[in-house]
Structure 1
Amino acid sequence: MANIHLCHCPFPAANLALGGAAASSTRLNYDFRPSNAIDGSDETDQIIHKSCFATSVIDPWWRLDLGGLFDISTIELLRRTDSGGQDLNLVEIRIGISLENNGNNNPRCAVVPVSSSVKMTFHCNLKQVRYVNIFRPGSVSMIQVCEVKVFAATPITGG
């Protein structure tokens, strides 16, 4: 199956995730820090590069705090390729401004399809977003992701 990529952006997009802060419900071990998923690395082999994130198995979630409000257009996820890539299948991407239930009650943007695609891009056109969550509701299964990228709907300019 080909990579899922849908963005035909009219401007060069900046990855807002690089300036954010990551948190999670749990982590598998020390090597799987939440910040690994926003380190700017497109490496998908955790064994070699130590650049991916993984939760433990009970009620898993990962959250990105963008540190401010942004109009979001797309979110890109990179799946782990050395093992555990299936641990991203069927997770929900939720985006919004609430921290209720650790941000997992925000509106659902997408559900990651069962796929072997390494790179997946989802249109999440929503205004005034601060939090991006990857969430597996009511589950006893882990989440593993190597990179999360968030792109604005309009160019970001200094003021």
Structure 2
Amino acid sequence: MIDAQMLKKQILLQDMDEYELGKIAKIVEKVSIKQGEVLFQEEDDTRGLWLIHSGKIQISKMAADGWRQTLVVLGEGHFFGELAIVEKRKHVSKAEAMEDTELFLIPKESFEELVADDCALAMDFFKSMVVALSSNLRRMNDKFLSVLISY
């Protein structure tokens, strides 16, 4: 079992109480990958929600012209794979380790059971996810506007 205090450092889990962290700690799996190792490709089935404990993950997508485009590089505390779980679909991007990386995996089935069994925990989880995703969207919008203005 993962130490609940290690989970507290995750963006998605930082506002959760000890009880909620304890429930999540029981289902989390620790995964280690080496630099260059691919976690998933476009069209792969999802294994679950990924939380970065240490290291960096590059999320990329194949563009229409055949070039692979980096969407984002995520570091410690960030998460990914959430859309494949929430939308119940395959991955639409590739996730690859930019350096040796330690991850926490919340397996898809365990995540679904957890949120179905505990409405308060589900609400906290999804609220944290919405806040983090909204923050990322605002940051991307600011960058986009900055590029447009300087162009």
TM-score (norm 1): 0.32
Q: Which has the larger radius of gyration?
A: 2
Higher relative contact order (CA 8 A, sep 6+): 1
Q: Which has the higher strand share?
A: 1
